[in-house]
Structure 1
Amino acid sequence: MPVRRILCLLPVLLVAVVAAQHWSVLTEGFGHLRRAEWPWLVAAATATCLTWVAAAFTRQGAVMERLPRRRLLATQLAAGAANHLLPTGLGAGAVNLRFMTVCGVPLARSSAALALYLLAEAVSRVGMLAVLLVIFPDALEFGPLLPGGAVGPLLLGAGAVAVVAAGVLLLVRRLRTAVFSFLRTALGEARLVHTRPARALALWGGSLAFPALQAAGLVLVGLALGLPVPPAHMAVAYLAATVAVALVPTPGGLGSVEAALVVALVAAGGPVAVATAVVLAYRIITVWVPLVPGALTLGALVRMKVI
């Protein structure tokens, strides 16, 4: 079986399947783009491209070995495509894990670097949201959008999931041993990285720049379509929405991210129709347009045995 040749073509085939499933969304999104102001859209596309650079910096900062720069950057484009074809986070994680392993990083340390990247990105995103909410406390008003008594059950459900996870970890000895061993490796890798100022700067600078550039992309699309919401409030809405859907296991957040972004923009004061148009146009620029070149890059990297 020509396994590698099949793997080269598989991403493009999956893109076609996903596009066919969301054809109506694509059509509506491109319709909104035709009515937008193009200078703002070009700026949004530029911000999207810079997110791959920020991700490359963060990946390099999470590991001590020096990774090949061009291949690392190309891997982030390919990882973005894989992330939209598999349950959220798994595609990008698998691509980067394989890339670091091919570059000679042991599997245990590659996994630790991946965990460090995810931790840094999560801390930066939540921290940036917290800072903006302190500066703009009236940016979001979810009260009219949430049914009465909805917050309590949501918090109760989250607490129940945490208790079950902790119980499983305590009762299953083999799992507990594996988790603690991984944590020791991850903490050791984190200590090593932070002994190198250049690595620490790349890790935290890239992890801060990544969500900031994503939020900037949404703000620029909002300006292109005339969304009557202050830019800072749009940024808060984006960060709040992405934090809320971080645990939803859908490929690339397709569907869940759109819904959360619309709700967040409406909570920020935007009309429902314009907010929906902004979200569809934003997802076209950040997800659907890069999907084909990302899939082709993924296939090329598989063929070149980079991953």
Structure 2
Amino acid sequence: MQPTVPVQQPPPIRRAAPLPLYRRLPLRQVLCLLPLVAVAVWVAQHRSLIGSGARQMFTADPWWLLTAVATTGLGWVAVSFARQGTVLERLPARRLLATQFAAGAANHLLPSGIGASAVNIRFMTGCGLPPARSSAALALYFLAEAVTRILLLLMLLAAFPEALRIGPVLPERTAGLVVWAAVAGAVVLVAGLLMIGRVRRVIRDFLRTALADARSLHLRPSRVLALWGGSLAFPLLQAAGLVAVALALELDVWPPHVMLAYLAASAVAALVPSPGGIGSVDAALVIALVAAGAPVEAATSTVLAYRFITLWLPLVPGALVLGALVRSKVL
């Protein structure tokens, strides 16, 4: 008899441990839907304000309203030029423009422009820029925007010193206290940050990178024109949009005074960090237009219609573009 050869049993099949729930979820698809969900919740919370702005537009001149829509669209083009002017590398133009449109929606979901800043940093790092240089480009953009806005405001104040009559709207002593409190708060914040050693080192390294990039950029005339031209064009286009809405609603205020009111209101509203400037920008614009000579009711109607065009109308399309950019891994 031949010896019996034992049959080797196959090793038992070990089943892989089930993946955690967060690993099984289609994370990128969920991120694509988050902007739409956030916008839907926000629209539901502010439906009365949106409805008021929409009703004001039915009685307005449609051609001037179309002009306001056009200036809003050109504003994204101006921002794209300014963003390109902050880096030496050539950014893809179409994706850059789409990113600025999507950043507008993201900016209305987080306070103080955090959403737009995060979108732009993600876009620049996706284009191959290191995080330090992307942050330096963002800081340079904010600096150029602030400088151009202040210069425009000072020029209009010098040309039309009688345009804004703050006294009847807000006591001058109260206005002065608000300004000085904002300045003191900024000084205390900066001083507190500089007292922390690690933060001080990070700020020093960041400033070194930012200054080196700024020097290199200002040796390129095309980048200088894009940065400062786009930064100057954006507030002018936004102010022109408010002028167009004021003309559409027959607001009895001279257009240069409306532009001055917009620049003053945007400067004051920047001190109050709210998503999309909701509340702060609206109140500041109404106060500025009243200070420029408009009746309260007419000023409120103008601001509601203007904010409907510049804020609420592009919000859902911007969220769709933001989701598409996340899905296509541009962001």
Structure 2 residue 26 is matched with structure 1 residue 6: no
Q: Counterpart of 1:43?
A: 67
Q: CA deviation at 1:304?
A: 0.3
Q: What is the identity, as a one-letter code, of the residue corresponding to 2:145?
A: E
Structure 2 residue 110 is matched with structure 1 residue 86: yes
Structure 2 residue 298 is matched with structure 1 residue 274: yes
Q: Counterpart of 1:55?
A: 79
Q: Counterpart of 2:282?
A: 258
Q: Counterpart of 2:11?
A: none
Cα shift readout 1:168-207 (whole Å, capped 9, x = no counterpart): 1342111111111111111111111101100010000000
Q: Counterpart of 1:160?
A: 184
Q: Counterpart of 1:76?
A: 100
Query: Could you tell me which of 205, 213, 227 is aligned with 1:189?
Result: 213
Q: CA deviation at 1:12?
A: 0.7
Query: Could you tell me which of 284, 287, 296 is aligned with 2:311?
Result: 287
Query: Could you tell me which of 218, 232, 254 is aligned with 2:242?
Result: 218
**1:102-141 correspondence runs (5 A):** 102-141=126-165
Distance 1:66 1:219 in 2: 34
**1:161-180 correspondence runs (5 A):** 161-180=185-204
Distance 1:64 1:299 in 2: 28
Normalised by the size of structure 1, how large is the TM-score?
Answer: 0.98
1:163–1:59 distance in 2 versus 1, CA, 3 Å: closer
Q: What is the identity, as a one-letter code, of the residue corresponding to 1:235?
A: M
Q: CA deviation at 1:249?
A: 1.1
Q: CA deviation at 1:88?
A: 2.3
Seq. identity, %: 62
Cα shift readout 1:1-56 (whole Å, capped 9, x = no counterpart): 21110110111111111111111101111110000000000010000000000000
1:138–1:56 distance in 2 versus 1, CA, 3 Å: same
Q: Counterpart of 2:225?
A: 201
Structure 2 residue 88 is matched with structure 1 residue 64: yes
Distance 1:229 1:112 in 2: 40
Distance 1:62 1:148 in 2: 39
Structure 2 residue 124 is matched with structure 1 residue 100: yes
Q: What is the identity, as a one-letter code, of the residue corresponding to 2:330?
A: V
Cα shift readout 1:190-240 (whole Å, capped 9, x = no counterpart): 111101100010000000000000000000000000000000000000000
Distance 2:300 2:246 in 1: 10
Q: Counterpart of 1:151?
A: 175
Q: Counterpart of 1:18?
A: 42
Distance 1:177 1:300 in 2: 38
Q: CA deviation at 1:269?
A: 0.3
Q: What is the identity, as a one-letter code, of the residue corresponding to 1:78?
A: A
Greater displacement, 139-148 / 74-83: 139-148
Q: CA deviation at 1:161?
A: 1.2
**Are 2:182 and 2:271, in contact at CA under 8 Å, matched by a contact in 1?**
no
Q: Larger radius of gyration, structure 1 or 2?
A: 2
Normalised by the size of structure 2, how large is the TM-score?
Answer: 0.91
Q: What is the identity, as a one-letter code, of the residue corresponding to 1:34?
A: F
Q: Aligned with 1:88: secondary structure?
A: helix
Unaligned runs of 5+ in 1: none
Q: CA deviation at 1:164?
A: 1.8
RMSD of aligned alpha carbons: 1.0
1:12–1:242 distance in 2 versus 1, CA, 3 Å: same
Distance 2:243 2:317 in 1: 24
Distance 2:238 2:187 in 1: 33
Distance 1:159 1:114 in 2: 23
Distance 1:155 1:229 in 2: 26
Q: Aligned with 2:277: secondary structure?
A: coil
Distance 2:192 2:215 in 1: 29
Distance 2:34 2:296 in 1: 37
Distance 2:39 2:193 in 1: 37
Q: Counterpart of 2:15?
A: none
Query: Could you tell me which of 46, 53, 78 is aligned with 1:29?
Result: 53
